[in-house]
Amino acid sequence: MPSDYDALKSKLEAHGQAHLLYFRDRLTDSERNSLIADIAEINVEESLEHFQQAMLAESQNDTKPLDSSMEPVPQDICGSASESSPEELESLENRGLRLMAEGKVATLLLAGGQGTRLGVVYPKGMYDIGLPSHKSLYQLQAERILRLQILAEELTGQKATIPWYIMTSEHTREPTIQFLSDRNYFGLDPMQVLVFEQGMMVCFSPEGKILLETPSRLARAPDGNGGLFRALRDSGIIDDMEKRGLVYVHVYGVDNVLVRPADPIFVGYCDEKGAECAAKVVHKALPREAVGVICLVDGKYNVVEYSELTTEKAEQRGPDGRLTYCLGSICNHIFSVPFLKRISGSKKDGLKYHIARKSIPVADPDTGESKAPSKPNGIKIEKFVFDAFPLAKTFACWEVRREDEFSPLKNRPGESADTPKTARQALLSFHQRLIAAQGGIIVDEDGHPISPEDAIVEISPLVSYRGEGLTPLVEGQRLRSPLQLNPTVNHSKKLADSDLFLPPEETVH
């Protein structure tokens, strides 16, 4: 036994965690050393404090009614894409593009989740939803960033570089790096792509016992997207942001197929409002839709989960018939770099812990084999990125059309919602609407107009970010489905019939 074994055993016993040494007599010397090193990596007392804080927060949420402390967000900090004029949107967009040309804007992708719910064993960003081009989520986002750089340079004459930070987990880091490297970062400069890893937290039994995944390894899980602030500090990424002179960072989740990384309109609006924290939102479809809402709680900006809303609050409406609490949170935020530095500067960042009851693989006490039960057996502790909202001194919301900007990919094929099929259809439908808005008509092989839901139209992000540049290509044209618009098209002329069936770009699997 290692010389520090007795001290470790006493420490674990003092905190009710002696079971972590249950398999010690069955382990090889190497396995025993590995287990002891794994335990030594964590602060047992601190981990237990986090568990207790999370459990207490849950119990308080269950007993503390929010009705009396909730208020809707003030109208003067809420902008809307659908209620803004084309001139106003162009002004905001140009403001954002100029900031990009000045090197003041970056994107930060939250990509720690594996594709478990999708039924795959690789990072969700590598997933192919079945587009005609077979582009992955990572490729779509990278090409949107490339297109923005072109637009910023066309507007200002300055070469623009938009850093792409990617926060992965222990499980997704290496596959993500390999995937991007093998594909030459989809045209981005490797120096502008920075992959870093979020922290891990030990998992617990409902009684507060730290779980063993194997006889020689603790069970751990990523610390949630709110672990961003800790990861920015521990990885040195916040220092990199300051060295680059960045002012705004657009933070978003990997699974939204319609996401607009570094959306210049959103950036421009945030800058106009002087907000150090901003949220892009969609209008709730139904009062009881399973989405958190942004509101004031005790005078501070918060996201209240749908499960915390009473029926009265969920269904409350204003004089115009609009839901009072209608700003649906979609994990799409802008933070100023000074705000990120302030929050990440201390281990006590002010964010609360949440619990998630999950089915966690644990070592069988008889065989030592790692098994995941069919029902939840343990608790993961995590933080949410939106729990930083109450800490913001200035805040803003920007509402967008759901059908244009939000279609999450969460569930495997065959499920009822948020599947590859629904994500694919959302993107194809968005592209079809862009064509129609610029005067193009989608027809079948016989030349007959077809319904939007039957049209197959894919526009490469390298051709257009949100519809710009399409008019000279499609106006007055009858375009046959399936249609792919790729950057090989000569943009100085309208589409000829031979352009309608362009060869797909490199297929990514």
Name the DSSP letter for residue 204: B
Of residues 196, 275, 193, the one with CA closest to residue 233:
196
What is the band of 401 on the pLDDT scale with cuts at 50, 70, 90?
very high
Name residues whose C-beta falls within 8 Å of residue 2's C-beta, 6 or more positions apart in sequence: 32, 33, 36
Distances (CA, A) of 332 to 232, 234, 266: 18, 23, 10
pLDDT, residue 4, reads: 72
What is the band of 65 on the pLDDT scale with cuts at 50, 70, 90?
low
Collapsing DSSP to helix, strand or coil, 51 comes out as helix
What is the band of 225 on the pLDDT scale with cuts at 50, 70, 90?
very high
Q: Look up the pTM and report it.
A: 0.92
Name which residue leads in pLDDT, 69 or 195.
Answer: 195
Provide mean pLDDT across the span 18-35.
94
Instruction: Kindly list the structural domains of the chain, giving each domain's residue range(s) and its CATH number in brackets, ordered by start.
Output: 5-60 (no CATH), 61-405 (3.90.550.10), 420-499 (2.10.10.100)
Write out the two tokens for 198.
Answer: 């979020």
Provide mean pLDDT across the span 455-475.
95
Per-residue model confidence as pLDDT tens digits over 311-326: 899 999 999 899 999 9
In DSSP terms, 256 is beta-bridged to 408
Are the beta carbons of 464 and 470 closer than 8 angstroms?
Answer: yes
In DSSP terms, 335 is beta-bridged to 249, 277
- Report the interhelical angle of 137-156 vs 86-101 (nearest 10°): 90
389 has pLDDT over 80: yes
Per-residue model confidence as pLDDT tens digits over 256-301: 999 999 999 999 999 999 999 999 999 998 998 989 999 999 999 9
pLDDT, residue 257, reads: 98
pLDDT, residue 499, reads: 41
C-beta neighbour count of 497 within 10 angstroms? 10
255 has pLDDT over 50: yes
Mean pLDDT of the chain: 91
What is the band of 490 on the pLDDT scale with cuts at 50, 70, 90?
very low
Residue with tokens 């499960």: 307
Provide mean pLDDT across the span 219-228.
94
Name which residue leads in pLDDT, 372 or 31.
Answer: 31
Lowest model confidence (mean pLDDT) among 235-249, 407-421, 439-453: 439-453
pLDDT, residue 492, reads: 38
Name residues whose C-beta falls within 8 Å of residue 163's C-beta, 6 or more positions apart in sequence: 106, 107, 192, 193, 194, 241, 244, 246
Write out the two tokens for 458.
Answer: 């894919």
201 has pLDDT over 90: yes
Provide mean pLDDT across the span 33-53.
93
pLDDT, residue 57, reads: 84
pLDDT, residue 306, reads: 87
Q: Could you give the CA distance from residue 227 to residue 349 in angstroms, rounded to a whole number? A: 10
Provide mean pLDDT across the span 95-105.
98
251 has pLDDT over 50: yes
Strands 70-71 and 293-297: antiparallel
Phi then psi for residue 378, to 5 deg, are -150, 180
Per-residue model confidence as pLDDT tens digits over 467-485: 999 999 999 999 999 999 9
Provide mean pLDDT across the span 326-352.
93
What is the band of 62 on the pLDDT scale with cuts at 50, 70, 90?
low
350 has pLDDT over 90: no
